[in-house]
Amino acid sequence: MNRIFRTWFLIGLVGLMVVGQSEVRAASKPTRKKVIAENPYLGAIVVDNATGKVLFEDKADAEGYPASVLKLMDLLTVLEKIEQKQLALQDPVIVSAKASHIGGSRVWLAEKETFSVDDMLYALMVQSANDVAVALAEKLAGSTDAFVELMNKRAQELGMTHTVFHSVHGLPPGAGQEHDVTTARDLALLSRELLKHKDTLRYTSTRERPFRPDDKKHMVVMRNHDHLLGTVEGVDGLKTGYFTEAGYSIALTAERKGQRVIVIVLGSIDRKVRDAKAAELLAKGFLALPAPSSPSPVPAATSGTAK
């Protein structure tokens, strides 16, 4: 009997050890982050830039993650500081150690490198450079935290009531950090405000540009991530964004026959679906606009002697 008891005791002990090891492995396995992107999108909206009138919307207040579309707020903040004479396009931006270590899309800034605000804005919009976003934030506000405060303050002023920024670049949050959150409607408000600044389209319509053109060894040929530029009539900006949980998003604008439309597609599960939907909604937006008024005809000159 004692032998039988010992045998079952040992079997039970081994079983507990196996279960315990399985639980340890399960606990140590990283939790898979939730993908919130949907097919064809999480939310979308089309707006007449001239009036702000909504021409189409579908779940426009659904909250998602903007990813790099967030950099439009970086651009607006910088352009407004330039307009207020607190900054100039040719002012130098000195790269910090923090900026040089930011990952994701970048132009591989090195600590103590110096570039003009103008060069940095091209890199921010064309390459979607995260290292540049940090360098510009530090230049303008002294720290990324202070710059994020400026971003959130401006968002509230614009009526972006469902938007909260936690970063200057839109990357996925690290441990202890939170996601940047916005909606298609809020991004349309931001885009419309940006289009009041002439330099916005100068940066966002650029399809390709060298960074460090005089340094052939370290030059980066920046290419815009917006595949609709140059392929869809009238498209000249604004910004794309992506990371896995967020999905693919785009803030898009185009001008045709003197009329301009803004399209936002937030949180699409697939890039090709996002781009196809954006192009489709752009066409729908222009069809919904009133026909542009034509100039009044000039009366024909009459012959003969006036009486």
Would you please indicate which residues are annotated as catalytic (active-site) residues? 68, 71, 128
8 Å CB contact between 172 and 242 = no
d(Cα 297, Cα 221) in Å, to the nearest integer? 49
First to last CA, the chain: 137
Beta strands in 73-207, from DSSP E residues, in sequence order: 92-94, 114-116
8 Å CB contact between 42 and 64 = yes
- Name the phi and psi angles at 194, rounded to 5: -65, -35
Q: Which residues of 28-67 are buried (b: 16+ CB within 10 A; e: fewer)?
A: eeeeeeeebbbebbbbbbbbbbeeeeebbbbbbebbbbbb
Q: Which letter does DSSP use for residue 124 in this model? A: I
d(Cα 270, Cα 267) in Å, to the nearest integer? 9
8 Å CB contact between 61 and 43 = yes
8 Å CB contact between 256 and 19 = no
**Tokens at 156, concatenated:** 């509230």
